[in-house]
Amino acid sequence: MKPWKVFLKFSDELNTEELLEVFDAKSYFGGYLKIKRSYFHELTKTIKMTKKYLTKRGIEKVLSPDDEDWTYNPWMLIFVKDNEKGKLFWFFIKREKDLSGILVAIGPKPFAEYNNNNPEAKREIKRIINYIIAHLNKFQCIVILPNHLSKV
């Protein structure tokens, strides 16, 4: 499992900083999973509709598994908590110029390890990603965006 390093820095009272490792998703799909533009449109509508979903700025720096600096890309780090099962899922997504996205990595480590040994990983990951926008009451969700993006 190849880890991407995501450095988070939040502009809160404590100036909280944290390093997360998310694990390259290429092996689960034989390439990277492309996520349609319409998914992000629905996610935006969902965030506006429910208080259980929110966005924050916090991605300060991104290093690939080869320690290349990928910071200045349009990243999204989606933290999801399944309210029923208490499970956590992280999805690290790079947005593309056509407004679609590519699932680059997943986490936390137990979720990545589980999918490493799961022949149904591809189907399950896709299902969770789709459930995020379809079953609002089942999840809590925080979308972390890069600090370098200009505020709109």
Q: What is the pLDDT of residues 79-134, one digit of tens each?
A: 999 999 999 999 999 999 999 999 999 999 999 998 888 888 888 899 999 999 99
Rounded CA gap, 68 and 108, in Å? Answer: 21
pLDDT digits (tens, 9 = 90+) for 15-59: 789 999 999 999 888 889 999 999 999 999 999 998 899 999 999
Provide the domain count of the chain. Answer: 1
Stated as kind and residue range, the H or E segment containing 41 is: helix 37-49
Per-residue pLDDT averaged across 57-72, rounded?
A: 96
Report yes or no on 151 lying in a domain.
no
Residue 91 forms part of a structural domain: yes
Element (H, E) at 39: helix 37-49
* Within a domain: 90: yes
pLDDT recorded at residue 30: 83
Q: How far apart are alpha carbons 71 and 79 in whole angstroms?
A: 19
4 pLDDT higher than 90? yes
In a domain, 73, yes or no: yes
- Is-contact 104 92, C-beta < 8 A? yes
Could you give the CA distance from residue 106 to residue 114 in angstroms, rounded to a whole number? 11
- Domain limits for position 75: 3-146
Residue 78 lies inside a defined structural domain of this protein: yes
- Rounded to two decimals, the pTM is 0.92
Is 64 within the bounds of a domain?
yes
Q: How far apart are CA 83 and CA 29, in angstroms?
A: 27
Average pLDDT over residues 122-149: 91
CB 90 within 8 A of CB 80: yes
Evaluate whether residue 152 is within a structural domain: no
Look up residue 92 and give its two tokens. Answer: 């690290």
d(CA 65, CA 67): 5
Residue 45 lies in a domain: yes
Q: Specify the pLDDT at position 150.
A: 63
Q: What is the pLDDT of residues 116-125, one digit of tens each?
A: 888 888 888 9
